[in-house]
DNA sequence: GGGTGCCGTGTTGACGTTTACACGATCCTG
DNA sequence: CAGGATCGTGTAAACGTCAACACGGCACCC
């Protein structure tokens, strides 16, 4: 059993601390929990013993007694996506000062993994959760959330669960962009975005259609690609759109991974932005800025999303008992030189 | 106490499952741990009770008995950096099939936060750790690692601790690139990278100097900027280099965040790559591919780093007791058109 | 037909902590 | 100076689970 690097040392317990300090375990516990009813001299002795042994209280034992773990779980579809990483960062800035530790878990967009995470969170008695589901129609996931028994904050999804939600605005910015493109003379605009199974996908398609309808431009469903979010998909759909019989003169790549893939497809086809094709990306303002020409991007402040979500959670953790709340956060359209009037053929 | 969304329901315990199934807790425990010595009919009754109550075993109680949490902690300097996120992803692909859950924690490059994480990991009895430290000279962090008592795998750092390590090759690719630039006629090359407090920073500077020495080109320390890794820093250093009295004709931005910042500075100065300045980035092959012209990038397979690290950890978790091991993984130089002969002035 | 095993199940500490309760000592108060 | 309050500390039960042990019943064997 020994020999495990580095040392395989058994961790010291409260009993050993008590023994070295020459007090009872109750006293050690009181020192550890900073209870005031300890004589200064005793406290010093206990503290010294703790330092000497490198004592850290056993969280499992503590959790069992107190039903608190000071742990918040954060479920994200994809860890390598900066959008979600920023949310985690924002949430952490709010949670850490309150003593909560945020642990992130990536589901890789698999509902099965999401269920595993939710069960693990329940087993581990996590105090609260922030979750971004990869599919609103996965009933198993929703059932698990309903069972949690601790506060859950949902990000940008519409699910039949009594939980606080933080939404991002998706409809309006797409509308703005489409209007802009229509005004420049575009009539065939391609939209690539997430599937209808999640709110962002639905709302972007809705905003897209609304703008076209308002302008009286007929909707061609062939131009709307609402499927999986991934760079590969973004690339494939863009390639398909641009090499089709009646290609669009503008592309909306609404989603950060889709943005990468779509841009790559445009490069591979050797098309020039905005001369051959107008292009709009989303959720990666920096990339839009670094490429030449700079690309118009629909952007949102994901760190703020994280802060807001953590704020809602924190209030619940403090016992706030009110009906579910919803927060809607805006999106910005960063206009840059990647859109122009379509070429006349 | 109640009223917490969604429901604030207390979690069912093994006792309640036992009661509903009409058996003793021992039997429930045996069913839960898939022990064979249970009558099929009883097993079915227990399983039904579990499903009905939505029972999940309490991990804290279980951990206390078994000294196992099936949890691996992953310490990363910065969650929003794709480099580390990919490592996590790679590690997860190896750990998940073995039943371990990987929880990521971001220190935001603060040694204090790193210590907090290590202590939290010890409190929570995590079974193993994969860590990327932000400063090799922070002694507190190293002491904490030595105390862990469970296997720890260190990524790309040189610290005096008995632990398995996965290294990336940093010296050789920089040398290759510098040689290439020298051959093209460059004599003043700027290097921006991480500080000397971490191995990647040291090794890149070492490789840089070695290439110059081999070619007999004098080393100008003003051209070497080994400080913090961040986009801001990368931008500031690049701006400083390029607006200085005797500016470099090529820039090596060795680090993904530095890459972003440096590229931005070049854009802001209105310089054209590679006509005005040759440019080499690192660790974000995709960005290098998406911009125009495509940028030469020093790249490495971070997912593989994660897989290897997880592999080492897993062996330790299974009881392997051998001296610390080190794995060195290579880096690639993806040559693209961002480097050319310097302009003659 | 009486022992011998084995099978299925129940019972019971133990894990490390918190906290209510107990208790002796000291301090104040009338 | 007696009695009560307060202070500092010790004691013990409980949290939920696992696993060692115990035990009743049945089948099998000679």
| Helices vs. strands in chain A: H and E counts, helices first | 13, 12
A residues 245-304 lying closer than 8 A (beta carbon) to B: 260, 263-264, 267, 286-287, 289-292
CA distance B117 to B122: 9
**What pLDDT shows up at residue A37?**
80
Number of CB pairs, chain A paired with chain B, less than 8 A apart: 191
Question: Is the pLDDT score of B264 beyond 90?
Answer: yes
**What pLDDT shows up at residue A3?**
34
Residues of B in contact with A140 (CB under 8 A): none
Residues of B in contact with A9 (CB under 8 A): 147, 149
Q: What end-to-end distance do the CA atoms of chain A give, in Å?
A: 76
**What pLDDT shows up at residue B1?**
33
Using a CB–CB cutoff of 8 Å, tell me whether B128 touches chain A: no
Q: Tokens in use for B170? A: 């940093």
The answer to which of A8-12, A42-46, B169-173 has the lowest mean pLDDT is A8-12
Using a CB–CB cutoff of 8 Å, tell me whether B64 touches chain A: yes
Put the strands of the sheet holding B332-334 in their side by side order.
Answer: B224-227, B189-194, B250-253, B278-282, B296-299, B332-334
The confidence band for A2, taking pLDDT boundaries of 50, 70 and 90, is: very low
| Segment B244-250 mean pLDDT | 96
User: What is the per-residue DSSP string for B225-293?
Assistant: EEE--SHHHHHHHHHHHHHSSS--SEEEE-SHHHHHHHHHHHHHTT--TTTT-EEEEES-HHHHHHSSS
CA angle A112, A118, A124 (to 5 degrees): 135
The confidence band for A128, taking pLDDT boundaries of 50, 70 and 90, is: very high
Question: Is the pLDDT score of A96 beyond 70?
Answer: yes
Closest nucleotide to B14, Cα to C1': D16
Out of A59, A163, A292, the one facing B291 most closely (by C-beta) is: A292
CA distance A289 to A285: 6
**What pLDDT shows up at residue B16?**
94
B137: number of Cβ within 10 Å: 13
Judged by DSSP in three states, B66 sits in helix
Question: Is the pLDDT score of B3 beyond 60?
Answer: no
**What pLDDT shows up at residue B345?**
56
Protein footprint of strand D, defined by Cβ closer than 7 Å to any strand atom:
A 22-27, 30, 36-39, 41-43, 61, 64-65; B 13-15, 25-26, 29, 32-33, 55, 57-58, 61-62, 64-66
Closest nucleotide to A25, Cα to C1': D10
Sign of CA dihedral B338, B339, B344, B345: positive
The verdict on a CB contact (< 8 Å) between A104 and B103 is yes
Using a CB–CB cutoff of 8 Å, tell me whether B163 touches chain A: yes
Report the candidate in A45, A12, A19 with the shortest Cα–Cα distance to residue A31.
A45
* Percent of chain A residues past pLDDT 90, beyond the cut: 92
**What pLDDT shows up at residue A131?**
98
The verdict on a CB contact (< 8 Å) between A86 and B80 is yes
The confidence band for B9, taking pLDDT boundaries of 50, 70 and 90, is: low
The confidence band for A1, taking pLDDT boundaries of 50, 70 and 90, is: very low
A residues 179-198 lying closer than 8 A (beta carbon) to B: none
**What pLDDT shows up at residue A33?**
87
Question: Is the pLDDT score of B4 beyond 80?
Answer: no
**What pLDDT shows up at residue A36?**
76
**What pLDDT shows up at residue B161?**
94
The answer to whether the peptide bond before residue B244 is cis (omega within 30 degrees of 0) is: no
Out of B5, B163, B231, the one facing A5 most closely (by C-beta) is: B163
Using a CB–CB cutoff of 8 Å, tell me whether B325 touches chain A: no
Report the candidate in A322, A104, A3, A194 with the shortest Cα–Cα distance to residue B316.
A3
Average pLDDT, chain A: 94
- The total number of residues shown for chain B amounts to 345
**What pLDDT shows up at residue B8?**
52
| Segment A271-295 mean pLDDT | 95
CA distance A139 to A30: 46
B235: number of Cβ within 10 Å: 23
Residues of B in contact with A4 (CB under 8 A): 149-151, 316, 319, 321
| Segment A136-156 mean pLDDT | 96
Mind listing the pLDDT tens digit for each residue in A163-189?
999 999 999 999 999 999 999 999 999
Using a CB–CB cutoff of 8 Å, tell me whether B335 touches chain A: no
Residues of B in contact with A291 (CB under 8 A): 290-292
- Helix ranges, chain A (H): 14-21, 25-32, 40-53, 59-66, 82-95, 111-123, 139-147, 171-184, 199-214, 231-242, 256-268, 285-290, 302-317
Question: Is the pLDDT score of B154 beyond 90?
Answer: yes
Our measurement of the distance from residue B93's CA atom to the centroid of its chain's CA atoms, rounded to an integer in Å, reads 15
Question: Is the pLDDT score of A7 beyond 80?
Answer: no
**What pLDDT shows up at residue A9?**
64
Residues of A in contact with B231 (CB under 8 A): 286
Mind listing the pLDDT tens digit for each residue in A181-231?
999 999 999 999 999 999 999 999 999 999 999 999 999 999 999 998 999
Put the strands of the sheet holding A296-299 in their side by side order.
Answer: A224-227, A189-194, A250-253, A278-282, A296-299, A332-334
Name beta bridge partners: B153. Answer: B130, B164
- CA B149 to chain A, closest CA, distance in angstroms equals 4
Residues of A in contact with B146 (CB under 8 A): 6-7
A273 to chain B: closest CA residue: B292
Out of B11, B146, B291, the one facing A290 most closely (by C-beta) is: B291
B35 CA to C13 C1' distance (Å): 21
**What pLDDT shows up at residue A35?**
81
What DSSP state is assigned to residue A10?
P
- CA B217 to chain A, closest CA, distance in angstroms equals 32
Report the candidate in B187, B133, B168 with the shortest Cα–Cα distance to residue B298.
B168
- CA B188 to chain A, closest CA, distance in angstroms equals 25
Mind listing the pLDDT tens digit for each residue in A12-48?
999 999 999 999 999 999 999 888 788 889 999 999 9
* Percent of chain B residues past pLDDT 70, beyond the cut: 97
**What pLDDT shows up at residue A331?**
96
| Contact yes or no for A88/A102 (Cβ under 8 A) | yes
The confidence band for A8, taking pLDDT boundaries of 50, 70 and 90, is: low
- CA A246 to chain B, closest CA, distance in angstroms equals 26
Out of A10, A119, A145, the one facing B149 most closely (by C-beta) is: A10
| Segment B101-118 mean pLDDT | 95
Mind listing the pLDDT tens digit for each residue in B201-219?
999 999 999 999 999 999 9
B320 to chain A: closest CA residue: A4
Name beta bridge partners: B219. Answer: none
Mind listing the pLDDT tens digit for each residue in A251-268?
999 999 999 999 999 999
The verdict on a CB contact (< 8 Å) between B125 and A58 is yes
């Amino acid at each position: 059993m020994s020999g495990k690097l580095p040392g395989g040392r058994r961790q010291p317990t409260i009993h050993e601390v008590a023994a070295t300090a020459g007090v009872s375990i109750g006293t050690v516990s009181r020192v550890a929990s900073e209870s005031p009813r300890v004589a200064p001299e005793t406290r010093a002795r206990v503290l010294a013993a703790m330092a000497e042994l490198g004592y850290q209280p056993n969280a499992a034992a503590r959790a069992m007694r107190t039903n608190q773990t000071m742990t918040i779980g954060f479920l994200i579809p994809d860890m390598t996506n900066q959008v979600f990483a920023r949310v985690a960062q924002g949430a952490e800035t709010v949670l850490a000062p309150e003593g909560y530790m945020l642990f992130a878990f990536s589901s890789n967009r698999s509902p099965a993994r999401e269920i595993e995470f939710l069960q693990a969170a329940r087993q581990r008695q996590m105090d609260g959760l922030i979750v971004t589901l990869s599919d609103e129609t996965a009933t198993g996931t929703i059932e698990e959330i309903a069972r949690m028994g601790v506060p859950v904050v949902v990000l940008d999804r519409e699910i039949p669960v009594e939980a606080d939600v933080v939404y991002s605005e998706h409809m309006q910015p797409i509308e703005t962009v489409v209007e802009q493109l229509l005004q420049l003379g575009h009539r065939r605009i391609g939209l690539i975005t997430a599937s209808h199974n999640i709110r962002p996908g639905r709302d972007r398609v809705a905003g897209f259609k609304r703008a076209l309808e308002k302008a009286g431009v007929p909707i061609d469903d062939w131009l709307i690609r609402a499927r999986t979010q991934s760079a590969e998909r973004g690339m494939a759909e863009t390639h398909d759109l641009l090499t089709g019989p009646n290609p669009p003169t503008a592309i909306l790549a609404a989603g950060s991974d889709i943005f990468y893939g779509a841009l790559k497809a445009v490069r591979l086809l050797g098309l020039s932005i905005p001369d051959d094709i107008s292009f709009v990306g989303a959720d990666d303002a920096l990339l839009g800025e670094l490429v030449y020409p700079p690309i118009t991007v629909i952007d949102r402040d994901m760190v703020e999303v994280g802060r807001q979500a953590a704020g809602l959670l924190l209030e619940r953790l403090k016992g706030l008992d009110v009906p579910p709340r919803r927060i809607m956060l805006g999106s910005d359209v960063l206009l840059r030189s990647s859109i122009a009037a379509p070429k006349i053929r």
